[in-house]
Chain A
C-alpha cells in the first residue's frame, strides 16, 4: 500500500473539509473491506484517507416511529444484532447476514455497499424495496436521493466530488408490510450473487390482497434495478401463484444481464423470475406475521 495521510474525522464538516482540500486524491474510509483490499493490490492509491467511523451521525442507529436512521458506516453486525431492527425490518438481515463472512460483517456497512455500487451488491435491492433515502453531505450542503437513483454505473454512484453518504433512512414499515431478499449462488455461503432479488409488499388487513409492492433485481444489469412495473402489476391483486407469476414474468423481461463466469443471460433471466416468486412468498409470510427468520436470520436462495 502506498503512503497516505490519515485523518480520523470527528464530524461531517471535518470530512467535507478534508475531502475538499484533498480533491480526487482524498478518499473516505468506512469498513474498508473493499477499499483497503483495492489499495493493497495497488488498484487505487490516495494521498489522504479520511476515516468516517468516529463521526456520531455515521455510526448512529435510531429506530422509532418515524422509521430507521442507519448511519452510513454502521457495520452489518450491528444490523444483525439490533433487536429493534430485527423486529421492524427483519428483511435487512437477509442482506447484512450474507455480505461476506462473519468477520467482513464486523466491518462492512450497508452504506459502503451502496456507495460501492456493485451491480451484484447484496445490500442494495433490499434498500430499494424499503424505499430507503440516502442522506448526502458535501461542499454545497446536504441533499437526499432515493436509493434506487444512487447507483449510476458499475462501481459508480451519484455522489459528486467531495460528497459523502451520511446515512440511510428507511420509512417506518406500513401496516401489513413484509420484505425479503434472496440471492442465487452456486455454493452455500461466501459468494457473489448470480442474481439477487428484493421484494416488499403491503397487504390488505385480511392478508389476501397485495395493496402495493416493490421489486428490485441485482446482478442482472449495470446497476441494481428498481422494477416498478413488477410492483405495479402486483398492486391490487390477490395473493396467488398466478399473481406471483405475472411479477416474475415482468422481472424476467426487466433483467438485462450479461453472460459471464457466474452465469448466462438465460440462466439469470430465469433466476430473476424464480427468486421473485420465492421472495414474494417470504415477504407475504412476514407481512402476515406467519414466519420468523432463523437464529441467524439466514434465508438461502438455493433451497
Chain B
C-alpha cells in the first residue's frame, strides 16, 4: 500500500509541474470602469516604512471623500525613497524574534513597521523607538536627488497641466520628501504656481513645512518627541492626540493620527479641507482622460511629442487630432508643455506608442515625459543630443508603450511598459 501511495505521489508531483508550466502567469491588471476626472489631486507620502502606506492612504481617502465643494478629489500614493536605509529590517526582525521568543511574530513586525501594539516588553519597545528614530535621522542626513523626485514631480506637473489643484499629505519622514518636492516644483524658470500646491504635514520631523503649509504633530508622539529631544530641529507639537493601544508610540498614521476614536482625525481633515479651500486653479489647459501624456523639457526652444495610436494614427503637431485622442497643448517655447489625452468614449484597446523628437535647439536637452492612467503615473527622462527638425517626425525616439486591454467585465486595463 505504501509503495502504491509513493508511486501516486510521484505522479502527482509530475502533474503539478506540468500544470505550472502550462498555466498562465498569475499577475493580472487592475481594472477601472469609471472615466473620472479630478479637480483636486491629494498625494499621500508615506514615512520610513512603505508597509503602512496603503492602509494610511486608503484611510485618508475615506476620510476626505471623493468630492470637495462639488469638485472631484483624486487620492494617490507617492512612495517615499529610503535609499536602502530600511534594508536591515528582516535581519533585525530575526534577531528580535530570537531575543524575545515569547513575542508573537505578527506583533513584532507590526511594532517595527506600523504601530507598537499592546503586549511588547518594555526593552523591546525602547529598541523600536530608537530604531525608528534612527531611520528618520538617517533619511534626514541623505536628502533627495532630482532622480529621487522624478516621478512625483512629473506626476504633479502633469496634474498642473490639467488644471488640478495639488495637496501633499506626508507622514513622518515623508515630510522631508514633500518639502524637497515642493522646493523643486516652485523654483526655477519652470516653477508651477505656488498658489496651486500646498502641504499639510502629519507627524513631521522637519523644521518647517514647505510653502508655509500646515501640520499636525501630537504631543504624545514619542518618535517625534524623541527626535526633538535629540536636538534635531523639529516643528513643535500642536495637538494632543491621546494614546491608543493600537500604537503606543503615538506616531502611526493609521493607528493614531487617522484613528476615528482619537482627536487627530477630525483636526487633520479640518486642516486638509482648509488647505483645499485655499488652493487656486493653476490655469492648465490640458484635457483629462484615461490616458494623458505630458512632455516638458528645459531651456531649449522646442521638443515635440509624438503618439502612435492603436490604429496607426500618428498624432503630433502636424496632425493634432487622432482617432482616440488629441494633442491639445503644443507650446514651442522653453519648458513646454506638450500634452496628449484620450477621450473616454473613444478609448480603444491596443498599444499607444509614445515618442519625442528634438525639433529645435542649440545644445543637449532632457525631455521629461509623464504618462498617467487611472492607475497612476510613470515619468521618464530622455537625453536629446541631436536636433533633427522635421527629419525626426517620421522616426521619433520611442519612450514608452501603453498597452490597453479590455477584460471580460467590459472595463479597461492599463499597463505602461
Answer yes or no: do A and B interact: no
Residues of B participating in the A interface, judged by any CB pair closer than 8 Å: none
Residues of A participating in the B interface, judged by any CB pair closer than 8 Å: none
